[in-house]
Structure 1
Amino acid sequence: MSAAWLVPLEAVRTNLTVVNSRFISSLAPAGNVTEARHYIQVIRKEFPDATHHVPAFIIGGGNSATESCSDDGEPSGTAGRPILTVLKGSGLGNVVLVISRWFGGTQLGTGGLVKAYTEAAQQALRLVKPAREVLVHRLELTLPYPLYERVKLETAAIGATIVHENFDEAVHLAIELAVESLADYQRRLDSLSSGRLQPTIVDSGIRRRPA
């Protein structure tokens, strides 16, 4: 199964300068609140000399999403809330964004801060490659050499991925496929092997795949 909302495929980073103040936007996927908070701390340690580190994140999606933001010392409502508003407008879930600001000596004013943080957040989101989080099984499958090419074709046809191959007396494959595709995949294997090929589930987890 996959979530109804999109997530970032990978981390992105952008730079923006507004009236001598520098803004670095660091955006990343986060699977839960703990991961989001850890990422925020990572950015704080990476840029210890920044004047502010303004974070916002959305975990989950839709009506069940967990949202959080902070102004981190900026005037109330001028930083965290604008960033969160941009994130919500993107439709993304499981996303964390930290905007680090270095004060440049010129006050931007409340309106200027809102505009700057909004622009910095939008700039980062423009680089995001959307993905879906898919629950996958990791399978192990042993097969005779004469079936190797046909199994490769069926594996690709179902949208699964062969992540490792080993060849000795037989062929040994490690395969990742969406949980919802397992029954169909087994039917395909049964059809070409008269039921002799039986993959073993060795692990399950979440993977991000391009939308």
Structure 2
Amino acid sequence: MPQTIAAPATSELLVKKSRFLGYLHPVADRAAAQAIVAGLRAAHPDAAHVCWALLAGGQSAAVDDGEPAGTAGRPMLDVLRHQDLAGVLAAVVRYYGGIKLGAGGLVRAYTDCVAQALLTAEKIAIVRYSALRCSLPYALEGRLRRELAAAGAELLAVAHGERVTLAFRVAEQAAAALAARLDDAASGQLAWLQEC
């Protein structure tokens, strides 16, 4: 199951006099990620490189920012993918220490910097929801509300007219089972409306 991080996390790594500062941020999309990267560039104007990787909103990115191709962004992106993360920006600010690390050394440094930040990050599962609406007789409202609460569904709106209309959301994987349970509880008196 895909996960994201609850809050930003950081790390610091020294490799042959080069200083690597790792930053992980939960983000919704590429625009949010680019704003954070711009902020890092502004906060670290003397840094040699600000490399980053992104998995968010169905988009991915791997930016080497002047490092040899494939030695920074792609390895960081691989760490995010290996951890089954989504909605996460990984950025590493590098202050060059005067000693070349070679391609293998760069890959290890960028990978390790992101991995160390992930050790301190709180990971949370990404839950996708289905929004549903139904109408029912007044006499069944209490019973269906109890069924929704027992299933962990979130009641979004209630409208009282000729019948009661309930709008709610529930985890996608539980939606079909809950709909069947509500149909049974209402003994055929439940009408499903177009999803919210």
CA separation in 2, counterparts of 1:115 and 1:180?
38
1:129 maps to which residue?
123
Q: 1:7-57 CA deviation, whole Å, 9 max, x = no partner?
A: 315453314253573514123355xxxx3x323311123223233321223
Alpha-carbon contact 1:163-1:174 (below 8 Å) kept: yes
- Secondary structure, counterpart of 1:194 in structure 2: coil
Instruction: Show structure 2 runs of 5+ residues with no match.
Output: none
Going from structure 1 to structure 2, the CA distance change for 1:25 and 1:9 (only over 3 Å counts) comes to closer
1:97 maps to which residue?
89
**Residue type at the aligned position of 1:28:** P
CA separation in 1, counterparts of 2:59 and 2:40?
26
CA separation in 2, counterparts of 1:28 and 1:187?
36
1:57 aligns with 2:54: yes
**Residue type at the aligned position of 1:88:** R
Alpha-carbon contact 1:56-1:97 (below 8 Å) kept: yes
Going from structure 1 to structure 2, the CA distance change for 1:77 and 1:192 (only over 3 Å counts) comes to closer
- Structure 1 runs of 4+ with >6 Å offset: 166-170
Q: 78, 88, 95: which is aligned to 2:81?
A: 88
Deviation of 1:121 after TM superposition, in Å, equals 0.8
Deviation of 1:95 after TM superposition, in Å, equals 4.5
1:7 maps to which residue?
3
Going from structure 1 to structure 2, the CA distance change for 1:83 and 1:182 (only over 3 Å counts) comes to closer
TM-score normalised by structure 1 residue count: 0.66
CA separation in 2, counterparts of 1:190 and 1:75?
60
Deviation of 1:125 after TM superposition, in Å, equals 2.4
**Residue type at the aligned position of 1:186:** A
Alpha-carbon contact 2:135-2:193 (below 8 Å) kept: no
Instruction: Show structure 1 runs of 5+ residues with no match.
Output: 204-211
**Residue type at the aligned position of 2:97:** T
CA separation in 2, counterparts of 1:164 and 1:133?
21
Tell me how large the CA RMSD over aligned residues is: 3.6
CA separation in 2, counterparts of 1:89 and 1:108?
30
Alpha-carbon contact 1:43-1:98 (below 8 Å) kept: no
CA separation in 2, counterparts of 1:54 and 1:83?
9
Q: Which has the larger radius of gyration?
A: 2
Alpha-carbon contact 2:18-2:98 (below 8 Å) kept: no
Q: 188, 191, 195: which is aligned to 1:198?
A: 191
CA separation in 1, counterparts of 2:7 and 2:32?
11
Going from structure 1 to structure 2, the CA distance change for 1:164 and 1:86 (only over 3 Å counts) comes to same
